[in-house]
Amino acid sequence: MDGNRRWAEARGLPVPLGHKAGAEAVRRTIEACVQEGVGWLTLFAFSSENWLRPVEEVRALTGLLRLYLRAEVATLAKEGIRLRVIGDRARFGAETMKEIERAEAQTAHGTKLNLTVALSYGGRAEILAAARSVAEAVRDGTFDLAELDEASFGRRLFTAEMPDPDLIIRTSGEQRLSNFLLWQAAYAEFVFQDVLWPDYDAESLGEAIREFGRRERRYGARTG
């Protein structure tokens, strides 16, 4: 999700209002995914690099996160949407961590849509954490390095028990991965859309899904 700041600046609005409009786009996108029959949706909401932004903007983002968790979790549970959070949640502090845990527990039985929100997340940091986990297990004698393969390594990532993404959508015209799901994106299809995130809606999502449907996915193999 990208473009909140540019959306606000283009309208002469404070940046926090751009993030607030982005939260509305999250709600629309979740509803559109349910209508499209999408089973898994992962939103890159706050990267590990976002902590380097101005203090006021970070404070507004984290405050909006807590507000969203309190205001939306009951609706998510009612609609059968399961929420998971991946990333270094400890950096948000004890209060926010409790809100996240409460939201995950309250929505744990949802089956209509698996919604994952990446917070204080970075793909490189995730891979390093998994590598450290392997090294510690080998050191402690609980894991045989000879048994390490892609599957066993994947089980040590934040996304363990989640399928790899089929489609990754990047908004606002940017055409880069920005440290998102680096391991998991090995065979994902990419769709780049010019729309700024606060303007994202069901029509935008539908266009991306139709484009995905036109792709031939070979996973490195030849066809015919």
- For residues 139-174, one letter each, b for 16 or more C-beta atoms within 10 angstroms of the residue's C-beta and e for the rest, the string is eeeebeeeeeeeeeebebbbbeebeebeebbbbbee
Rounded to whole angstroms, the Cα distance separating 102 from 28 reads 23
Output DSSP code: residue 117: E
Q: How far apart are CA 111 and CA 102, in angstroms?
A: 18
Examine the residue annotation and report whether 2 is marked as an active-site residue of this protein.
Answer: yes
Which residue, among 121, 126, 110, 120, has the nearest Cα to 33 in the 3D structure? Answer: 110
C-alpha atoms less than 13 angstroms from C-alpha of 15 in its C-beta half-sphere: 13
Residue 144 is a catalytic residue: no
Nearest to 100 by CA among 78, 119, 80, 114: 119
Cα–Cα distance for residue pair 216/224, rounded to 1 Å:
12
- Which two three-digit tokens encode residue 199? 């303007």
**Structure tokens of 167?**
């489609």
The DSSP letter of residue 105 is H
**Candidates 50, 164, 179, 201; catalytic one:** 50
List active site positions: 2, 50
